[in-house]
Every structure is written in C-alpha cells, then in structure tokens.
Amino acid sequence: MKKLINSIKVVRINICVKLHMNGFTTLAYFVDKETCTYLDYMKRVARIVKEHCINESDD
C-alpha cells in the first residue's frame, strides 16, 4: 500500500512539472500545490541568479 501511495505522488509531481513547464501553472496547482509552490520558488531563484550573473559580467 505504501508503495502505491509513493507511486501516485511521483505521478502527481511529474504531471505538475510538465504542466508548469508548458505554462499551465493554474492547472498544475490543482494537481499538486506543494510541488508548484516549490517550482515557482526555484524559478524566482534562477531568475535572480541569472540577473546577478549578467550584472557581474557588465562590470
């Protein structure tokens, strides 16, 4: 039973990631809110790091 629950969670995460990557963020939130919140956070962090690296190269 525990293996089935873990498998279902993995499937939900995979669906959420695919929806999120293709721009269906709202729909992805219905699938797995926790994963989408994490993905949004990581996207913001990546944007900040990218901007910081661009600013560093301008100096």
3-state secondary structure labels for all residues of the chain: CHHHHHHHHHHHHHHHHHHHHCCCHHHHHHHCHHHHHHHHHHHHHHHHHHHHHHHHHHC
Q: How far apart are CA 21 and CA 35, in angstroms?
A: 12
Is the Cβ–Cβ distance between 36 and 25 less than 8 Å? yes
| Nearest partner of 25 among 8, 10, 40, 5, judged by Cα | 40
Summarize pLDDT for 6-59 with one digit per residue, the tens. Answer: 888 888 888 888 888 888 888 888 888 888 888 888 888 888 888 888 777 665
Q: What is the pLDDT of residue 5?
A: 81
Instruction: Please state the domain extents for the chain.
Output: 2-58
